[in-house]
Structure 1
Amino acid sequence: MLRPRPEIPAKGQESVWDYPRPPRIERVSAPVTIRLGGQLILETRDVVRVLETSHPPVYYLPIADFATGALADADGTSFCEFKGTARYLDVCGGGEVRPASAWNYPHPSRGYELLRDRVAVYAQRMDECTVDGEVVTPQTGGFYGGWITSAVVGPFKGAPGSSGW
């Protein structure tokens, strides 16, 4: 499939087609929350996001800011040509367990060291994830973990037919 036509961002919005490759990493000051099983398992303002062409931002959150017992080691790893080898984590809250619903880079590649003690979470597997009070829309598909807010426009990789982008 050919590269799609990027949507035109309105004032205050970003186009994911303006994000770089290799991805850029940046701190943001917006508060982030995650709820699972009716329980608030994360509330933080210590937020880093990774921005990559055609993807909504992936938010990386401090492991230390998750509720006690909210993260547990899971089976599986994956490799990113930019960030390195990721490990997976189960996410637990309110008596519920979502297997392999988060990941982190214990030994990130050079340039991505800020991700070392942070976790990204698949929003579609949680009850609710928010950025600056706005409930996020999960990136389509089961592999990518971007969070879509009103601040970004696409189209976004992950939708059917987008594997060739």
Structure 2
Amino acid sequence: MTPAHGFPGFVRRPKPIKPKAGQESVWDYPRPPRVEPRSERIIVRLGGQVIADTTDAVRVLETSHPPVYYLPLDAFPAGVLVPVEGTSFCEFKGEAHYFDVVAGGVLVPRGGWTYPEPARGFEALSTRVALYPGPMDSCEVDGERVTFQEGNFYGGWITTKIVGPFKGGPGTAGW
């Protein structure tokens, strides 16, 4: 982290990319985050198999982060989501619980998470799971293959409709 303005540890907010027509800037997203229902078709593949195909997703929008899509738990075939030990805590959403994601002979350890008892305002997440898009064969939003948010903690889905810069990569921890 490079100090700015003479204050150690002070991190300057990056310059947002100006969105073009039909695009969104993650710098216009709120903090605390917002949950928003979506009707795009979401398809996720792992191990050569479609493990989710739904038009009933929600996405969580938070300043500097690409959207995280949460899909209905019942959109996944039995055995794809395997609960595992361990939790993490989000100051806004509450306690996250994790799943290994398994399909076609492929295992993605802790590749998905849910908030079974989310904080107020995030109730829509209680019956949904988010997936890290990076280790999946592919994740699509209305036919567009997403790229993933840098870093090994956040699970944002990046499409051509989303502009940054995005938190998650080296040097972005203080944003």
TM normalised by structure 1 equals 0.99
Aligned-residue RMSD, C-alpha: 0.6
Match of 1:102 among 106, 112, 126: 112
Task: Give the CA deviation at 1:144.
Answer: 0.3
Paired residues in the alignment total 165
2:133 aligned with 1:160: no
Structure 1 stretches of 4+ moved >6 Å:
none
TM normalised by structure 2 equals 0.93
Task: Give the CA deviation at 1:69.
Answer: 1.0
Q: Confirm or deny: 8 A CA contact 1:75 1:100 kept in the other structure.
A: no
2:148 aligned with 1:138: yes
What is the DSSP-based 3-state SS (H/G/I as helix, E as strand, rest coil) of the residue aligned with 1:17? helix
The match for 2:7 is: none
The match for 1:17 is: 27
The match for 1:76 is: 86
Match of 2:49 among 36, 39, 43: 39
Unaligned runs of 5+ in 2: 1-10
Structure having the higher Rg: 2
Q: Confirm or deny: 8 A CA contact 1:76 1:87 kept in the other structure.
A: yes
Task: Give the CA deviation at 1:75.
Answer: 2.0
The match for 1:30 is: 40
Match of 1:91 among 101, 109, 128: 101
What is the DSSP-based 3-state SS (H/G/I as helix, E as strand, rest coil) of the residue aligned with 1:114? helix
Q: Percent identity?
A: 61
The match for 2:160 is: 150
Task: Give the CA deviation at 1:91.
Answer: 0.3
